[in-house]
């Protein structure tokens, strides 16, 4: 999947409710607040792909949706005020470009839906209760690979290649000891036994 396709998929996660035809005017458009960590120039390709994804779902900027961008320009200390400003603007949903702005958004509101992007460990930092059942007002995409997700990966691999009996998961030496690595592979074995080689390389 290309990065552009990934961002288009993210647009689908926003899940804006449909609007009546007579309400499709800029004055009554849905307002999406976007908290961006970088600059408009650096994120121009992301902005374009996000707008394209929403357009494919029937949400057109300037017609029935308005984007409210807030740019941190590499200064994370801006996140709190960016989030507070979007809450004051009463946006319909907040899209946070990474874990830090998502946390700032969550601290700023318990009612406005928040879509996190590229969060590294949303459960550990308290953004969501779990990946399966996030709860609260936060949802979105995560890089976190829980033991359950690892087990599902093995299950899908076993279904695609039934004869597989051994899966290697090489990890760099600085990425924890064997116990930590093996812990990532715990989970149900719905497809039969598979040996998991988790030795460090």
What's the confidence (pLDDT) of residue 21?
Answer: 45
CA 43 – CA 46 distance, rounded (Å): 5
User: 109-144: per-residue pLDDT in tens?
Assistant: 999 999 998 888 888 889 998 877 888 999 988 876
Q: Of all residues in the chain, what percent carry a pLDDT higher than 90?
A: 37
Q: Which residue has the higher pLDDT, 102 or 4?
A: 102
CA 112 – CA 114 distance, rounded (Å): 6
What value does the mean pLDDT take over residues 186-195? 47
What's the confidence (pLDDT) of residue 184?
Answer: 46
CATH T-level assignment (fold) for domain 3-142: Rossmann fold (3.40.50)
Q: Which residue has the tokens 């899908």?
A: 156
Boundaries of every domain in the chain: 3-142, 147-197
User: 142-161: per-residue pLDDT in tens?
Assistant: 876 666 667 777 888 888 88
């Amino acid at each position: 999947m290309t990065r552009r396709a990934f961002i288009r998929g993210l647009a689908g996660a926003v899940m804006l409710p449909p609007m009546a035809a007579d309400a499709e005017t800029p004055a009554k458009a849905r307002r999406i607040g976007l908290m961006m960590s970088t600059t408009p120039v650096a994120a121009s390709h992301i902005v374009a792909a996000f707008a394209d994804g929403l357009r494919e779902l029937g949400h057109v900027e300037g017609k029935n949706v308005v984007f409210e961008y807030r740019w941190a320009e590499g200064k994370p200390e801006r996140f709190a005020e960016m989030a507070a400003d979007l809450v004051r603007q009463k946006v319909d949903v907040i899209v946070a470009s990474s874990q830090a702005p998502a946390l700032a958004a969550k601290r700023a509101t318990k009612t406005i839906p928040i879509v996190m992007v590229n969060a590294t460990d949303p459960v550990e930092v308290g953004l969501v209760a779990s990946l399966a059942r996030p709860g609260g007002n936060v949802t979105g995409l995560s890089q976190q690979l829980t033991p359950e997700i690892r087990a599902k990966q093995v299950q899908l691999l076993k279904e695609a290649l039934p004869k597989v009996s051994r899966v290697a998961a090489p990890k760099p030496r600085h990425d924890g000891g064997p116990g930590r690595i093996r812990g990532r592979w715990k989970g149900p074995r719905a497809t039969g036994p598979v040996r998991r080689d988790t030795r460090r390389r």
